[in-house]
Structure 1
Amino acid sequence: MASRISLKSKGKTPAKPSKGSEERSVAQSFKEWSTWALKKAKVVTHYGFIPLVIIIGMNSEPKPQLSQLLSPV
């Protein structure tokens, strides 16, 4: 018969989180949040740059045709 594996931790666990662990938790949360935000910003920048250039070009004077904006010459 297969034996069961227990995931109980050994040793004492604090009943109330200490100040150091709370600060570390806040720092860890901030690090995770900032990483998530930068990844999203990278994707938005990657896919939004060319459409932004086209929109700005279409609203400039003199007003070019879309084919003139997209052609390399």
Structure 2
Amino acid sequence: MAPKIGKGKGKTGKGSKGADESSIARYVKVWSTWTMKRAKVVAHYGFIPLIILIGMNSDPKPHFSQLLSPV
């Protein structure tokens, strides 16, 4: 859940463009942080299953127990 982004305290009129740009920059920062946190979780829990999947599709085809044994 992303935090709500409020309007800046800048003056309206000529300076409003700067406030809009900082609001957009803040939104991009929040979105990228949220995305990286989710990517970290996916990489953490998906790495070992990915290695097992690649190992089972290799040539020669090992048994599942051979993939998990340390020998």
Q: Which amino acid is 1:70 matched to? A: L
Q: Does 1:49 align with 2:47?
A: yes
Distance in 1 of aligned mates of 2:44 and 2:31: 20
Does the residue aligned with 1:63 lie in a helix, a strand or coil?
coil
Hey, what does 2:63 align to over in structure 1?
Answer: 65
Runs of 4+ in 1 over 2 A off after TM superposition: 12-17
Q: Which amino acid is 1:27 matched to? A: A
TM-align CA RMSD: 1.9
TM-score by length of 2: 0.80
**Structure whose alpha-carbon radius of gyration is higher:** 1
Does the residue aligned with 1:62 lie in a helix, a strand or coil?
coil
* Alignment deviations for residues 11-49 of structure 1 (CA, whole Å, 9 cap, x no partner): x98566801110000000000000000000000000000
TM-score by length of 1: 0.78
Structure 1 gaps, min length 5: 1-11
Does the residue aligned with 2:26 lie in a helix, a strand or coil?
helix
